[in-house]
Amino acid sequence: MDGILVINKPAGMTSHDVVAKLRWILKEKRIGHTGTLDPDATGVLVVCIGKATRIIKFLDDSEKIYEGTITFGIKTDSMDASGQIIEISDSSELNSNEIDRVFRSFVGEISQIPPMVSAVKVGGERLYKLARQGKTIDREARKINIFEFKLTKFYKEYFDDKIFSKADFLVKCSRGTYIRALASDVGEKLGCGAHLSKLVRTKSGVFSLKDSIELDDIKKDPNIAYSVLIDIGVALAFMPTIFIGYLLSQLEMDIRKLQGRLWESLLKKV
């Protein structure tokens, strides 16, 4: 079995949990994923199977699109809804113009410090493991790109007899972007703090949510995975041609077979 599955990751599972479940269901050891999603997040998780695992690093370098919700005035230790509340502030006076202005200020190349609760390694150890031990260490800022960050809805909600402002958003960004950290940084810039209360990845590279399949559907009928499996050639058709020679050697594919797949996938787009 060689190809790509686009899974709509359910909330409550890690990306590794999804891979482990698929290995068990499909009886296939060579399975990996691109672009880790937080446990609370849902949406597009690109899963590579068999020989497709050899192109993970190329697919992982693609642009990501997310939709989600930020709650202003409530800070958590994990920067999302799964964490413990560490600070509450008044956000009732915020307005959509203020939020939109701050959103736009993050567009471009920016430096972002990864959250403590993350899979980033520092000194050979995952940050989330250190966080579980109650440790907080200095993290080096990393360059990321925010291509678009727009407000799609602004509203207010009651929580614990207080009014909090909330914002639905859409963001297009480079790999390695922590949307939790982005939400927290927006809150800091507005002076009230914030956390990410909902997140859905709607697109990863050329793979979108409409292409996805539910993990439960594959569990019920493993044969479904074969019917929706995306051919490696389809993924390669959208990649810069300079990688093709290298990928051929990595995939050990016959060049005529690959050319046929590329042409077939391109003709379908016409």
Alpha-carbon distance values, 154 to 47, 63, 157, 194 (Å)? 34, 26, 10, 14
In this model, does residue 202 exceed pLDDT 80? yes
pTM exceeding the 0.95 threshold for the entire prediction: no
Token pair of 88 as six digits: 């509450």
In this model, does residue 93 exceed pLDDT 90? yes
Q: What is the pLDDT of residue 115?
A: 76
The catalytic residue positions are 38
Q: How confident is the model at residue 169 (pLDDT cuts 50, 70, 90)?
A: very high
Give the mean model confidence (pLDDT) for residues 128-133.
64
Fold held by 64-204: Pseudouridine synthase (3.30.2350)
Print burial letters for 203-231: b (CB count within 10 Å at least 16), e (below 16): bbbbbebebbbebeebeeeeeebeeebbb
Q: Are 186 and 70 in contact (CB under 8 A)?
A: yes
In this model, does residue 268 exceed pLDDT 50? yes
Q: What is the pLDDT of residue 54?
A: 85
Q: What is the pLDDT of residue 197?
A: 97
More confident residue, 37 or 255: 37
DSSP letter for 4, please. E
- Residue ranges of domains in the chain: 3-62+207-269, 64-204
pLDDT in tens, 54-89: 888 878 778 999 999 999 999 999 999 999 999 999
Token pair of 215 as six digits: 């993990």
Give the mean model confidence (pLDDT) for residues 171-185.
95
Q: Are 197 and 28 in contact (CB under 8 A)?
A: no
d(CA 74, CA 81): 10
Average pLDDT over the chain, rounded to whole?
Answer: 86
